[in-house]
Protein backbone atom coordinates (compact mmCIF):
# COMPACT_ATOMS: atom_id res chain seq x y z
CA UNK A 1 0.00 0.00 0.00
CA UNK A 2 1.32 3.40 -0.94
CA UNK A 3 -0.09 6.46 0.82
CA UNK A 4 0.72 10.15 0.77
CA UNK A 5 -0.06 11.84 4.07
CA UNK A 6 -0.74 15.57 3.69
CA UNK A 7 -0.54 17.87 6.70
CA UNK A 8 0.43 21.31 7.96
CA UNK A 9 2.53 20.04 10.88
CA UNK A 10 4.63 17.00 11.69
CA UNK A 11 6.71 16.13 14.76
CA UNK A 12 9.62 16.40 15.35
CA UNK A 13 9.93 19.18 12.73
CA UNK A 14 7.05 21.54 13.45
CA UNK A 15 4.34 21.25 16.08
CA UNK A 16 1.58 23.35 17.59
CA UNK A 17 -0.49 20.46 18.97
CA UNK A 18 -1.34 16.78 18.86
CA UNK A 19 -1.84 16.83 15.07
CA UNK A 20 1.94 16.99 14.66
CA UNK A 21 2.51 13.98 16.93
CA UNK A 22 -0.01 11.92 15.02
CA UNK A 23 1.26 12.91 11.57
CA UNK A 24 4.83 12.19 12.71
CA UNK A 25 3.95 8.77 14.15
CA UNK A 26 1.58 7.50 11.47
CA UNK A 27 4.17 6.47 8.82
CA UNK A 28 6.09 4.35 11.34
CA UNK A 29 2.91 2.76 12.62
CA UNK A 30 1.69 2.07 9.08
CA UNK A 31 5.04 0.62 8.00
CA UNK A 32 4.29 -2.19 10.44
CA UNK A 33 1.12 -2.83 8.41
CA UNK A 34 2.93 -2.96 5.09
CA UNK A 35 2.11 0.60 4.03
CA UNK A 36 4.76 2.77 2.41
CA UNK A 37 3.85 6.28 3.47
CA UNK A 38 5.37 9.62 2.57
CA UNK A 39 4.41 12.92 4.14
CA UNK A 40 3.89 16.20 2.28
CA UNK A 41 4.63 19.20 4.48
CA UNK A 42 5.07 22.96 3.88
CA UNK A 43 8.66 24.22 3.88
CA UNK A 44 8.46 26.60 6.84
CA UNK A 45 11.82 28.03 7.98
CA UNK A 46 11.90 25.68 11.01
CA UNK A 47 11.44 22.69 8.71
CA UNK A 48 14.08 23.80 6.19
CA UNK A 49 16.58 24.44 9.00
CA UNK A 50 16.37 20.86 10.23
CA UNK A 51 16.58 19.05 6.91
CA UNK A 52 19.03 18.33 4.17
CA UNK A 53 16.99 18.79 1.02
CA UNK A 54 17.24 16.32 -1.85
CA UNK A 55 15.99 16.35 -5.42
CA UNK A 56 13.21 18.51 -6.75
CA UNK A 57 10.47 16.11 -7.87
CA UNK A 58 7.74 18.50 -8.97
CA UNK A 59 7.58 22.23 -9.59
CA UNK A 60 5.23 24.94 -10.70
CA UNK A 61 6.21 28.44 -11.90
CA UNK A 62 3.17 30.22 -10.51
CA UNK A 63 1.89 28.42 -7.44
CA UNK A 64 -0.52 30.96 -6.01
CA UNK A 65 1.82 33.88 -6.62
CA UNK A 66 5.34 32.49 -6.82
CA UNK A 67 7.46 29.47 -7.63
CA UNK A 68 6.72 26.23 -5.78
CA UNK A 69 8.87 23.11 -5.69
CA UNK A 70 8.36 19.74 -4.04
CA UNK A 71 11.67 18.47 -2.69
CA UNK A 72 12.50 15.08 -1.19
CA UNK A 73 13.95 14.85 2.32
CA UNK A 74 14.22 12.38 5.16
CA UNK A 75 14.56 12.57 8.92
CA UNK A 76 15.05 9.30 10.81
CA UNK A 77 12.60 6.89 9.14
CA UNK A 78 10.25 9.63 8.01
CA UNK A 79 10.15 10.04 4.22
CA UNK A 80 9.17 13.61 3.46
CA UNK A 81 8.13 15.69 0.51
CA UNK A 82 8.66 19.34 1.37
CA UNK A 83 6.77 22.01 -0.51
CA UNK A 84 9.18 24.91 -0.94
CA UNK A 85 7.34 28.10 -1.74
CA UNK A 86 9.14 31.05 -0.12
CA UNK A 87 6.29 33.48 -0.87
CA UNK A 88 3.89 31.26 1.13
CA UNK A 89 5.91 29.72 3.93
CA UNK A 90 9.25 31.44 4.52
CA UNK A 91 8.34 34.19 6.96
CA UNK A 92 8.36 35.01 10.70
CA UNK A 93 5.42 34.63 13.06
CA UNK A 94 3.98 31.19 13.72
CA UNK A 95 2.88 28.71 11.10
CA UNK A 96 -0.75 29.88 11.19
CA UNK A 97 -0.53 33.33 12.78
CA UNK A 98 1.29 36.59 12.10
CA UNK A 99 3.30 38.39 14.79
CA UNK A 100 0.13 40.21 15.89
CA UNK A 101 -1.47 36.83 16.61
CA UNK A 102 -3.98 36.92 13.72
CA UNK A 103 -4.42 34.31 11.00
CA UNK A 104 -2.18 35.05 8.01
CA UNK A 105 -4.50 36.71 5.49
CA UNK A 106 -3.25 34.37 2.76
CA UNK A 107 -3.86 31.16 4.75
CA UNK A 108 -6.42 30.04 2.12
CA UNK A 109 -3.73 30.25 -0.61
CA UNK A 110 -1.00 28.78 1.62
CA UNK A 111 -2.90 25.58 2.28
CA UNK A 112 -4.63 25.46 -1.09
CA UNK A 113 -1.09 25.27 -2.50
CA UNK A 114 -0.30 22.31 -0.24
CA UNK A 115 -3.50 20.55 -1.29
CA UNK A 116 -2.97 21.34 -4.98
CA UNK A 117 0.52 19.88 -4.98
CA UNK A 118 -0.83 16.81 -3.16
CA UNK A 119 -3.28 16.26 -6.02
CA UNK A 120 -0.49 16.73 -8.57
CA UNK A 121 1.68 14.21 -6.70
CA UNK A 122 -1.27 11.81 -6.81
CA UNK A 123 -1.39 12.21 -10.60
CA UNK A 124 2.32 12.35 -11.39
CA UNK A 125 3.94 10.43 -8.55
CA UNK A 126 7.56 10.66 -7.46
CA UNK A 127 9.67 8.68 -9.92
CA UNK A 128 8.35 5.13 -9.76
CA UNK A 129 6.38 5.82 -6.59
CA UNK A 130 2.71 6.73 -7.01
CA UNK A 131 0.33 6.94 -4.07
CA UNK A 132 -2.88 4.91 -4.13
CA UNK A 133 -4.20 6.96 -1.23
CA UNK A 134 -4.09 10.59 -0.20
CA UNK A 135 -4.49 10.74 3.57
CA UNK A 136 -5.48 14.35 4.29
CA UNK A 137 -5.37 15.86 7.79
CA UNK A 138 -7.73 18.65 8.86
CA UNK A 139 -8.78 21.70 6.82
CA UNK A 140 -5.26 22.48 5.67
CA UNK A 141 -5.39 19.43 3.40
CA UNK A 142 -9.16 19.55 2.88
CA UNK A 143 -9.06 20.89 -0.67
CA UNK A 144 -6.95 17.97 -1.93
CA UNK A 145 -9.96 15.65 -2.53
CA UNK A 146 -11.72 18.54 -4.35
CA UNK A 147 -8.67 18.99 -6.60
CA UNK A 148 -8.59 15.25 -7.34
CA UNK A 149 -12.17 15.62 -8.52
CA UNK A 150 -11.53 18.84 -10.43
CA UNK A 151 -8.47 17.40 -12.19
CA UNK A 152 -10.32 14.18 -13.05
CA UNK A 153 -7.94 11.95 -11.07
CA UNK A 154 -10.03 8.85 -10.42
CA UNK A 155 -7.47 6.19 -9.57
CA UNK A 156 -6.29 7.65 -6.26
CA UNK A 157 -8.54 7.45 -3.19
CA UNK A 158 -8.80 10.16 -0.55
CA UNK A 159 -9.27 9.90 3.20
CA UNK A 160 -9.84 12.95 5.35
CA UNK A 161 -9.05 12.67 9.06
CA UNK A 162 -10.73 15.23 11.28
CA UNK A 163 -8.48 16.12 14.20
CA UNK A 164 -10.53 19.14 15.15
CA UNK A 165 -13.77 20.23 13.49
CA UNK A 166 -13.56 23.68 15.08
CA UNK A 167 -11.26 24.95 12.33
CA UNK A 168 -12.98 25.14 8.92
CA UNK A 169 -10.45 26.96 6.75
CA UNK A 170 -12.92 29.53 5.44
CA UNK A 171 -12.25 31.83 2.49
CA UNK A 172 -14.47 34.41 0.78
CA UNK A 173 -16.39 33.24 -2.28
CA UNK A 174 -14.48 35.80 -4.33
CA UNK A 175 -11.40 33.55 -4.02
CA UNK A 176 -12.97 30.67 -5.94
CA UNK A 177 -10.92 31.31 -9.10
CA UNK A 178 -7.76 32.24 -7.21
CA UNK A 179 -7.98 28.93 -5.37
CA UNK A 180 -8.51 27.09 -8.68
CA UNK A 181 -11.87 25.70 -7.61
CA UNK A 182 -14.53 24.99 -10.23
CA UNK A 183 -17.69 27.05 -9.77
CA UNK A 184 -19.90 23.96 -9.88
CA UNK A 185 -18.46 22.92 -6.52
CA UNK A 186 -19.70 26.11 -4.89
CA UNK A 187 -23.09 24.81 -3.71
CA UNK A 188 -24.45 23.71 -0.34
CA UNK A 189 -23.91 20.09 -1.47
CA UNK A 190 -20.33 20.99 -2.34
CA UNK A 191 -17.79 23.17 -0.58
CA UNK A 192 -19.96 26.21 0.11
CA UNK A 193 -20.52 26.99 3.78
CA UNK A 194 -23.00 29.84 4.31
CA UNK A 195 -21.70 31.82 1.35
CA UNK A 196 -18.02 31.09 1.95
CA UNK A 197 -15.55 28.48 0.73
CA UNK A 198 -14.86 25.88 3.43
CA UNK A 199 -11.72 23.82 2.90
CA UNK A 200 -12.75 21.33 5.58
CA UNK A 201 -16.20 20.88 4.09
CA UNK A 202 -14.61 20.30 0.68
CA UNK A 203 -12.70 17.42 2.21
CA UNK A 204 -15.77 16.03 3.96
CA UNK A 205 -17.80 16.11 0.76
CA UNK A 206 -15.24 14.89 -1.80
CA UNK A 207 -13.14 12.34 0.13
CA UNK A 208 -13.91 8.63 -0.25
CA UNK A 209 -13.72 7.97 3.50
CA UNK A 210 -13.71 10.13 6.60
CA UNK A 211 -12.14 9.33 9.91
CA UNK A 212 -11.71 11.09 13.19
CA UNK A 213 -9.42 10.36 16.08
CA UNK A 214 -11.71 8.51 18.50
CA UNK A 215 -14.93 6.48 18.28
CA UNK A 216 -16.76 8.70 20.74
CA UNK A 217 -15.87 11.89 18.83
CA UNK A 218 -17.08 10.18 15.63
CA UNK A 219 -20.51 9.90 17.25
CA UNK A 220 -20.39 13.35 18.86
CA UNK A 221 -19.56 14.97 15.51
CA UNK A 222 -23.00 13.99 14.22
CA UNK A 223 -24.70 16.25 16.80
CA UNK A 224 -25.26 20.02 16.58
CA UNK A 225 -23.54 20.40 19.96
CA UNK A 226 -20.19 19.11 18.66
CA UNK A 227 -20.43 19.33 14.86
CA UNK A 228 -19.71 23.08 14.70
CA UNK A 229 -22.09 23.55 11.79
CA UNK A 230 -20.81 20.52 9.86
CA UNK A 231 -22.91 17.91 11.67
CA UNK A 232 -25.44 17.87 8.80
CA UNK A 233 -22.72 17.15 6.23
CA UNK A 234 -21.30 14.50 8.51
CA UNK A 235 -24.67 12.87 9.10
CA UNK A 236 -25.13 12.65 5.34
CA UNK A 237 -21.77 10.84 5.18
CA UNK A 238 -22.05 8.86 8.40
CA UNK A 239 -21.74 5.53 6.54
CA UNK A 240 -18.23 6.59 5.48
CA UNK A 241 -17.16 8.05 8.83
CA UNK A 242 -15.32 6.05 11.49
CA UNK A 243 -13.38 6.80 14.64
CA UNK A 244 -9.86 5.42 14.97
CA UNK A 245 -8.16 6.22 18.24
CA UNK A 246 -4.74 7.90 18.17
CA UNK A 247 -1.79 6.16 19.75
CA UNK A 248 1.30 7.68 21.35
CA UNK A 249 4.95 7.06 20.61
CA UNK A 250 5.94 4.42 23.16
CA UNK A 251 9.67 5.17 22.76
CA UNK A 252 9.42 8.93 23.24
CA UNK A 253 7.01 8.45 26.15
CA UNK A 254 8.60 5.65 28.15
CA UNK A 255 9.13 6.25 31.89
CA UNK A 256 11.70 3.45 32.04
CA UNK A 257 14.04 5.09 29.50
CA UNK A 258 13.00 8.78 29.32
CA UNK A 259 16.25 10.81 29.35
CA UNK A 260 14.43 13.85 30.78
CA UNK A 261 13.55 12.20 34.09
CA UNK A 262 14.72 9.83 36.83
CA UNK A 263 13.58 6.66 35.03
CA UNK A 264 11.12 4.34 36.78
CA UNK A 265 9.17 1.17 36.15
CA UNK A 266 6.66 1.15 39.01
CA UNK A 267 4.47 3.87 40.55
CA UNK A 268 6.32 3.65 43.85
CA UNK A 269 9.44 4.85 42.05
CA UNK A 270 7.86 8.09 40.85
CA UNK A 271 8.74 9.77 44.16
CA UNK A 272 12.11 11.13 43.08
CA UNK A 273 10.53 12.85 40.07
CA UNK A 274 7.84 14.35 42.27
CA UNK A 275 10.39 15.81 44.65
CA UNK A 276 12.31 17.30 41.74
CA UNK A 277 9.16 18.78 40.22
CA UNK A 278 8.05 20.35 43.49
CA UNK A 279 11.48 21.95 43.79
CA UNK A 280 11.56 23.06 40.17
CA UNK A 281 8.16 24.74 40.50
CA UNK A 282 8.88 26.00 43.99
CA UNK A 283 5.71 24.45 45.39
CA UNK A 284 5.28 23.76 49.11
CA UNK A 285 5.49 20.18 50.41
CA UNK A 286 2.10 18.76 51.39
CA UNK A 287 -0.04 15.70 51.85
CA UNK A 288 -2.47 16.39 49.00
CA UNK A 289 -2.05 15.32 45.37
CA UNK A 290 0.13 17.21 42.90
CA UNK A 291 -1.90 17.78 39.73
CA UNK A 292 -0.24 18.77 36.46
CA UNK A 293 -1.75 20.24 33.32
CA UNK A 294 -0.01 20.64 29.94
CA UNK A 295 -2.07 22.28 27.26
CA UNK A 296 -2.78 24.89 24.66
CA UNK A 297 -4.62 27.57 26.59
CA UNK A 298 -7.83 27.81 24.59
CA UNK A 299 -11.57 27.75 25.07
CA UNK A 300 -11.62 24.07 23.99
CA UNK A 301 -9.57 22.96 26.96
CA UNK A 302 -12.09 23.93 29.68
CA UNK A 303 -9.58 25.91 31.74
CA UNK A 304 -12.26 28.33 32.89
CA UNK A 305 -13.98 25.37 34.58
CA UNK A 306 -10.74 24.54 36.33
CA UNK A 307 -10.32 28.11 37.55
CA UNK A 308 -13.75 27.87 39.18
CA UNK A 309 -13.08 24.44 40.64
CA UNK A 310 -9.62 25.17 42.04
CA UNK A 311 -10.46 26.76 45.43
CA UNK A 312 -11.96 23.53 46.82
CA UNK A 313 -9.00 21.51 45.57
CA UNK A 314 -6.45 23.89 47.08
CA UNK A 315 -8.34 23.90 50.38
CA UNK A 316 -7.93 20.12 50.51
CA UNK A 317 -4.16 20.47 50.12
CA UNK A 318 -4.07 19.92 46.35
CA UNK A 319 -1.29 21.55 44.34
CA UNK A 320 -1.23 22.45 40.65
CA UNK A 321 1.67 22.83 38.21
CA UNK A 322 0.56 24.15 34.83
CA UNK A 323 2.46 24.49 31.54
CA UNK A 324 0.74 26.14 28.62
CA UNK A 325 0.45 28.98 26.18
CA UNK A 326 -2.13 30.48 23.88
CA UNK A 327 -5.01 32.77 24.82
CA UNK A 328 -3.50 35.91 26.39
CA UNK A 329 -6.41 36.35 28.81
CA UNK A 330 -5.97 32.81 30.17
CA UNK A 331 -2.19 33.24 30.38
CA UNK A 332 -2.69 36.37 32.52
CA UNK A 333 -5.33 34.73 34.69
CA UNK A 334 -3.10 31.76 35.49
CA UNK A 335 -0.11 34.01 36.18
CA UNK A 336 -2.25 36.00 38.60
CA UNK A 337 -3.53 32.83 40.28
CA UNK A 338 0.04 31.64 40.81
CA UNK A 339 0.93 35.01 42.35
CA UNK A 340 -1.87 34.68 44.87
CA UNK A 341 -1.77 30.99 45.76
CA UNK A 342 1.39 29.24 46.94
CA UNK A 343 -0.11 25.90 45.84
CA UNK A 344 -0.29 26.97 42.17
CA UNK A 345 2.74 27.28 39.93
CA UNK A 346 2.56 28.25 36.27
CA UNK A 347 4.94 28.23 33.33
CA UNK A 348 3.72 30.10 30.29
CA UNK A 349 5.44 28.85 27.16
CA UNK A 350 6.10 25.72 25.18
CA UNK A 351 8.64 23.28 26.62
CA UNK A 352 8.82 19.68 25.50
CA UNK A 353 11.41 18.53 28.08
CA UNK A 354 9.51 20.16 30.93
CA UNK A 355 6.33 18.40 29.80
CA UNK A 356 8.14 15.06 30.34
CA UNK A 357 9.36 16.08 33.80
CA UNK A 358 5.83 17.12 34.75
CA UNK A 359 4.36 13.90 33.47
CA UNK A 360 6.86 11.93 35.56
CA UNK A 361 6.52 14.04 38.71
CA UNK A 362 2.77 14.62 38.86
CA UNK A 363 0.31 12.45 40.77
CA UNK A 364 -2.54 13.32 38.41
CA UNK A 365 -2.94 14.96 35.01
CA UNK A 366 -5.97 17.18 34.46
CA UNK A 367 -7.78 17.34 31.10
CA UNK A 368 -11.08 19.20 31.69
CA UNK A 369 -11.79 19.81 27.96
CA UNK A 370 -15.23 20.93 26.74
CA UNK A 371 -14.59 18.76 23.70
CA UNK A 372 -11.57 16.62 22.86
CA UNK A 373 -11.33 14.71 19.57
CA UNK A 374 -8.73 12.40 21.08
CA UNK A 375 -6.30 14.10 23.46
CA UNK A 376 -2.79 12.84 24.00
CA UNK A 377 -1.76 14.09 27.44
CA UNK A 378 -4.14 11.74 29.26
CA UNK A 379 -2.45 8.89 27.40
CA UNK A 380 1.02 10.08 28.43
CA UNK A 381 -0.45 10.23 31.94
CA UNK A 382 -1.59 6.61 31.77
CA UNK A 383 1.83 5.47 30.62
CA UNK A 384 3.59 7.44 33.39
CA UNK A 385 1.24 6.31 36.17
CA UNK A 386 0.03 9.91 36.45
CA UNK A 387 -3.67 9.37 36.98
CA UNK A 388 -5.84 11.18 34.40
CA UNK A 389 -8.76 13.30 35.61
CA UNK A 390 -10.76 13.96 32.46
CA UNK A 391 -14.04 15.27 31.10
CA UNK A 392 -16.31 12.55 29.76
CA UNK A 393 -16.04 13.47 26.08
CA UNK A 394 -14.37 12.39 22.82
CA UNK A 395 -11.15 10.43 23.13
CA UNK A 396 -11.03 11.13 26.86
CA UNK A 397 -14.07 8.87 27.21
CA UNK A 398 -12.38 6.16 25.11
CA UNK A 399 -9.03 6.04 26.90
CA UNK A 400 -9.76 6.32 30.62
CA UNK A 401 -11.66 3.84 32.80
CA UNK A 402 -13.33 5.87 35.52
CA UNK A 403 -12.94 4.80 39.14
CA UNK A 404 -16.67 4.34 39.66
CA UNK A 405 -18.00 1.63 41.96
CA UNK A 406 -18.30 -0.96 39.19
CA UNK A 407 -14.74 -0.45 37.94
CA UNK A 408 -13.34 -0.46 41.46
CA UNK A 409 -15.18 -3.65 42.34
CA UNK A 410 -13.32 -5.55 39.65
CA UNK A 411 -10.16 -3.48 40.01
CA UNK A 412 -9.88 -2.01 36.51
CA UNK A 413 -10.05 1.77 37.05
CA UNK A 414 -7.31 3.87 35.47
CA UNK A 415 -8.47 7.42 36.26
CA UNK A 416 -11.35 9.75 36.97
CA UNK A 417 -14.01 11.16 34.67
CA UNK A 418 -16.56 13.89 35.20
CA UNK A 419 -19.86 14.70 33.51
CA UNK A 420 -21.60 16.93 32.74
CA UNK A 421 -18.72 19.19 31.74
CA UNK A 422 -19.23 21.84 34.40
CA UNK A 423 -17.11 23.39 37.13
CA UNK A 424 -19.31 21.69 39.70
CA UNK A 425 -18.75 18.21 38.27
CA UNK A 426 -15.02 18.92 37.96
CA UNK A 427 -14.99 19.97 41.64
CA UNK A 428 -16.58 16.64 42.46
CA UNK A 429 -13.87 14.80 40.51
CA UNK A 430 -11.13 16.76 42.28
CA UNK A 431 -12.71 15.85 45.64
CA UNK A 432 -12.70 12.22 44.55
CA UNK A 433 -9.06 12.59 43.49
CA UNK A 434 -8.11 13.83 46.97
CA UNK A 435 -10.08 10.99 48.58
CA UNK A 436 -8.49 8.26 46.44
CA UNK A 437 -5.04 9.73 46.82
CA UNK A 438 -5.45 9.49 50.59
CA UNK A 439 -5.77 5.67 50.29
CA UNK A 440 -2.27 4.62 49.18
CA UNK A 441 -3.07 0.98 48.33
CA UNK A 442 -6.04 1.85 46.21
CA UNK A 443 -4.18 4.76 44.62
CA UNK A 444 -1.21 2.60 43.62
CA UNK A 445 -3.56 0.01 42.23
CA UNK A 446 -5.10 2.64 39.92
CA UNK A 447 -1.62 3.81 38.92
CA UNK A 448 -0.56 0.28 38.04
CA UNK A 449 -3.70 -0.23 35.97
CA UNK A 450 -2.98 3.04 34.20
CA UNK A 451 0.59 2.02 33.36
CA UNK A 452 -0.62 -1.31 31.99
CA UNK A 453 -3.23 0.23 29.70
CA UNK A 454 -2.25 -0.12 26.00
CA UNK A 455 -1.72 3.34 24.49
CA UNK A 456 0.47 2.51 21.47
CA UNK A 457 -0.45 2.51 17.80
CA UNK A 458 -0.85 -1.25 17.28
CA UNK A 459 -4.62 -1.67 17.11
CA UNK A 460 -5.23 1.70 15.44
CA UNK A 461 -2.64 1.11 12.71
CA UNK A 462 -4.44 -2.14 11.91
CA UNK A 463 -7.72 -0.25 11.57
CA UNK A 464 -6.19 2.33 9.22
CA UNK A 465 -4.64 -0.49 7.18
CA UNK A 466 -8.04 -2.17 6.84
CA UNK A 467 -9.55 1.10 5.70
CA UNK A 468 -6.76 1.69 3.14
CA UNK A 469 -7.15 -1.85 1.87
CA UNK A 470 -10.90 -1.54 1.57
CA UNK A 471 -10.78 1.55 -0.63
CA UNK A 472 -7.80 0.55 -2.76
P1 LIG B 1 -4.33 19.49 20.99
O2 LIG B 1 -3.80 18.88 19.76
O3 LIG B 1 -5.76 19.83 20.94
O4 LIG B 1 -3.49 20.64 21.46
P5 LIG B 1 -3.47 17.00 22.27
O6 LIG B 1 -3.64 16.52 23.67
O7 LIG B 1 -3.88 16.07 21.20
O8 LIG B 1 -4.25 18.39 22.16
O9 LIG B 1 -1.96 17.30 21.96
C10 LIG B 1 -1.24 18.33 22.57
C11 LIG B 1 0.23 18.04 22.41
O12 LIG B 1 0.96 19.24 22.61
C13 LIG B 1 0.76 17.06 23.43
O14 LIG B 1 1.86 16.39 22.87
C15 LIG B 1 1.20 17.99 24.57
O16 LIG B 1 2.14 17.41 25.41
C17 LIG B 1 1.77 19.12 23.77
N18 LIG B 1 1.76 20.44 24.45
C19 LIG B 1 0.71 21.28 24.58
N20 LIG B 1 1.09 22.41 25.19
C21 LIG B 1 2.41 22.27 25.49
C22 LIG B 1 3.39 23.10 26.11
N23 LIG B 1 3.07 24.31 26.57
N24 LIG B 1 4.65 22.64 26.22
C25 LIG B 1 4.97 21.41 25.74
N26 LIG B 1 4.10 20.58 25.14
C27 LIG B 1 2.83 21.01 25.00
C1 LIG C 1 -6.49 17.90 17.70
C2 LIG C 1 -7.40 17.61 18.89
C3 LIG C 1 -6.84 16.59 19.85
C4 LIG C 1 -6.20 15.42 19.13
C5 LIG C 1 -5.16 15.94 18.13
C6 LIG C 1 -4.48 14.82 17.36
O7 LIG C 1 -5.63 18.95 17.90
O8 LIG C 1 -7.74 18.80 19.58
O9 LIG C 1 -7.87 16.10 20.69
O10 LIG C 1 -5.58 14.55 20.04
O11 LIG C 1 -5.79 16.77 17.20
O12 LIG C 1 -5.38 14.03 16.65
- Do 441 and 463 lie in one domain? The reply is no
Instruction: Judge contact between 444 and 267, C-beta under 8 A.
Output: yes
Query: Residue 255: inside a domain, yes or no?
Result: no
- Average pLDDT on 217-235 reads 98
Q: Ligand nearest 295 Cα, by number?
A: 1
Whether residues 186 and 301 share a domain: the answer is no
pLDDT category of residue 14 using cuts at 50, 70 and 90: very high
The verdict on 109 and 212 lying in the same domain is yes
What is residue 414's predicted lDDT score, i.e. its pLDDT? 98
Q: Say if residue 23 is in the same domain as residue 54.
A: yes
Within 6 A (CB) of ligand 1 lie 17-19, 21, 294-296, 323-325, 350-352, 355, 374-377
**Which of 167, 375, 460 most suits a substitution to test ligand 2, by most atoms within 8 Å of the C-beta?**
375
Residues 230 and 282 in one domain: no
Q: Is residue 466 part of a domain?
A: yes
Residue 412 lies in a domain: yes
As a whole number of angstroms, the distance between CA 192 and CA 234 comes to: 14
Range of the domain at 144: 2-247+457-471
* Residue 348 sits in the same domain as residue 416: yes
CATH number at residue 193: 3.40.50.2000
> What does the pLDDT average to over 231-245?
98
pLDDT tens readout for residues 348-404: 999 999 999 999 999 999 999 999 999 999 999 999 999 999 999 999 999 999 999
Q: Could you tell me if 153 and 85 lie in one domain?
A: yes
Same domain for 131 and 40:
yes
Number of domains in the chain: 2
- Residue 65 sits in the same domain as residue 132: yes
pTM: 0.97
Nearest CA to ligand 2 atom 10: 375
- Ligand number nearest to the C-alpha of 296: 1
Q: Are residues 240 and 271 in the same domain?
A: no
Per-residue pLDDT of 134-190, as tens digits, reads 999 999 999 999 999 999 999 999 999 999 999 999 999 999 999 999 999 999 999
Tens digits of per-residue pLDDT, 294-327? 999 999 999 999 999 999 999 999 999 999 999 9
Is 261 within the bounds of a domain? Answer: no
pLDDT digits (tens, 9 = 90+) for 253-271: 999 999 999 999 999 999 9
What atom in ligand 2 is closest to the CA of residue 373? Answer: 9
Q: Identify the nearest ligand to the CA of 298 by its number.
A: 1
Task: Indicate whether 462 and 433 sit together in one domain.
Answer: no
Query: Does any domain span residue 333?
Result: yes
Residue 161 in any domain: the answer is yes
Residue-level pLDDT at 50: 98
Query: For position 218, what pLDDT does the model report?
Result: 98
Distance 109 CA to ligand 2 centre (A): 24
Q: Over range 121-135, report the average pLDDT.
A: 97
- 238 assigned to some structural domain: yes
Q: What is the mean pLDDT of residues 323-345?
A: 97
Question: Does residue 337 share a domain with residue 197?
Answer: no
Residue 463 to residue 221: CA distance in whole angstroms: 20
Share the mean pLDDT of the chain. 97
Amino acid sequence: MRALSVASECAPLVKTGGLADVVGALPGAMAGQGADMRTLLPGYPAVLDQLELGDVVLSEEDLFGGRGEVVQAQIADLKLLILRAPHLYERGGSIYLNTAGQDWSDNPERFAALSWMAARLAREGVGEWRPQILHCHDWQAGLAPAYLRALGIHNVRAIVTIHNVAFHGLAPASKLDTLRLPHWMFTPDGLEFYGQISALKAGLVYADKLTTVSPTYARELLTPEFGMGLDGVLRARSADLSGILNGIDLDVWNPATDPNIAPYATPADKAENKTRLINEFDLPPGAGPLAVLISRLSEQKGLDLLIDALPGFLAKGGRLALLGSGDKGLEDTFRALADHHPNIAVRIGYDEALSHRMMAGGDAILVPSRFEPCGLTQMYGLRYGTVPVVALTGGLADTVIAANDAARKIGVATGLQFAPITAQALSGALDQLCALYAQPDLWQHIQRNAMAHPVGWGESAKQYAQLYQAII
